[in-house]
Structures are given as C-alpha cells and as structure tokens.
Amino acid sequence: MIKCFFVKIIYMKRKILIIEDDRKIAELIKLYLEKENFETIIICDGKEGLENFFKESPQLVILDLMLPKIDGLTIAKNVRLKSDCPIIMLTAKDEESDKIIGLELGADDYISKPFSPKEMVARVKAVMRRAYKGQKIENEIIKIKNLEIYPAKFEVKKGGKKINLTRREFKLLLAFADNPGKMFSRNELMKEIYTIDDEIVFDRTIDVHIANLRKKINDKNQRLIITITGMGYKLAE
C-alpha cells in the first residue's frame, strides 16, 4: 500500500494593487487575497494609486470608482493608455451607466458594494485566468517537495538540479501541479497534452508518459503521482 505524503505547492505571488479609500474594505480585500497567496498593496487616494501602478507594475488592479484627488474612471483611462493590466472596478454605485462607462474604458469586471469577499476572490481568479490565459508570469515558480517547476522557462529542477522532461511530460506535470488533489481521467490528461493537430493516439498512451515522468521525478521514498485504479491519476496529497 502506497503511503501518500502531503504536498505543499507555493506560487510566486502575483501582485494586486488595491486602490480604495475605505480602509476597512481595503483591508478586508487584502485579508482574503493574501489567504490565496496574492501579494497586495493598498493605496487610499487616486493620485497616489496611479503613481504606484506605474511604479509597482501589478498583475491586477482593484479600483474604486469614487476616490479623492483622481477618480477611478480617470485612473482606468490612464492605465489603459499604456497597459493591458486587468482592472476590476469597485463602487457603491449600481447604476448601469457607471458600469457601461467603466467597461468602455477598459475595465475587465465590475463589482458593486456591498460584496462577498469570497466572490471578490473568485472574480479576481477568473479575470486573471482570462487575462493571462496560456501565459505564465516570468518569475513564477511551483514547489512540490524537492521539485521546482518554472512554467515560463519550461524548466524543472529536482533537488536543485535540472532534469530533462519532454514537452508532454512537462505539460502533464504542470497539469497536476495546477490542480493539487484533482483526479484526472486518461481522456482529461490527453486533452492537456495533445492538440487537435496531433495524430490520433490511444488513451493508454498516457500510461507510458506517466511511467516515464515518474522515473524522472520520483525518489526512492516518495511517489508524486499516484494511480486511482480504474479511474486515472492524481498528485499525491
């Protein structure tokens, strides 16, 4: 019987700039986002918020509409002149015209107060998935036991030493790392590593790729990918 160990996966933090003049709301957003391993910066006025955007280069901005010194719509307009950074508008107003103006200026989403912090987190993740689809932030690293995965570099290190994976082996490992605890069927894994332009292959081909990947990443006393008999594979929990 295989004894599974606990795997901790850590991502280099993605930076979120919160421009919100209500300190309590800003701190609540910060609390929930940092639980999800996001790095946050709180700015409470529009002028400083715009300056910090160009200084900090965040991966997402949560932007209140009503701000002192410079309002949120003006900030969004200025950001869009030089950046495609995703923006989530945040406001106490619930008028359709405000929403339309915000979206026309380039906001990616719009949330009205009061809101659920969990919904805020879900919206942030959804916007980031859309904005960075198919991309990995340059300095992102995923750590699993003694493995370090560098998605942007297409590189994996084991115990600090680089190991050579094929393109499909790397995609398999990344799929497991991005979904800790998820059980993948063979068909699901095929979709992760093959495209419609690839030659037709049998789902059992996945077993071969898994076996080869295991040889490269496993140690004597640890197995990172486990088999769920008759169902598929998952990352050890």
> What distance in Å separates the CA atoms of residue 120 and residue 145, rounded to the nearest whole number?
31
- Output the pLDDT for position 70: 93
CA–CA separation, 87 and 62 (whole Å): 6
pLDDT, mean over the chain: 83
> Does some domain include residue 142?
no
Give residue 93's pLDDT.
Answer: 62
Region 182-207: mean pLDDT is 77
Is the whole-model pTM more than 0.75? Answer: no
**Would you say residue 141 lies in a domain?**
no
92 and 15 part of one domain:
yes
- For 100-155, how does the pLDDT look when each residue is reduced to its tens digit (9 = 90+)? 777 777 888 888 888 888 888 888 887 887 777 666 555 567 788 888 888 877 88
Question: Of 131, 150, 184, which marks where a domain is finished?
Answer: 131
- Regarding whether 228 and 123 lie in a shared domain, the answer is no
More confident residue, 235 or 19: 19
User: How many domains does the chain divide into?
Assistant: 2
Contacting residues for 6 by C-beta, under 8 A, at least 6 apart: 237
CATH number at residue 42: 3.40.50.2300
Residue 155 lies inside a defined structural domain of this protein: no
121 and 22 in one domain?
Answer: yes
Regarding whether 187 and 109 lie in a shared domain, the answer is no
Task: Say yes or no: 100 and 211 in one domain.
Answer: no
pLDDT of residue 181 exceeding 60: yes
Residue 84 tokens read as 């495609």
Its domain, for residue 36, covers: 10-131
Is there a single domain that holds both residue 116 and residue 172? no
- How confident is the model at residue 131, as a pLDDT? 79
Query: What's the pLDDT score for residue 82?
Result: 87
CB atoms inside a 10 Å sphere around CB 61: 30
Is 108 in the same domain as 58? yes
Kindly state whether residue 146 falls inside one of the protein's structural domains.
no
Residue 150 within any structural domain of the chain: no
pLDDT reading at 87 higher than 90? yes
Q: Are residues 18 and 117 in the same domain?
A: yes
Q: What is the CATH number of the domain that holds 231?
A: 1.10.10.10
Q: Is the same domain home to 14 and 107?
A: yes
Given a cut of 80, whether residue 230 has pLDDT beyond it is: yes
Q: Is 77 found in the same domain as 171?
A: no
Alpha helix (H) ranges present in the chain?
A: 23-35, 46-56, 72-82, 96-104, 117-131, 167-178, 186-193, 205-217
Residue 207 covered by a domain: yes
Residue 140 lies in a domain: no
Looking at residue 179, its pLDDT comes to 74
- Report the sign of the C-alpha dihedral through residues 204, 209, 210, 212, in that order: positive
Q: Is residue 101 part of a domain?
A: yes
- Specify whether 109 is located in the same domain as 40: yes
29 lies in the same domain as 101: yes
Q: Is the pLDDT of residue 27 over 80?
A: yes
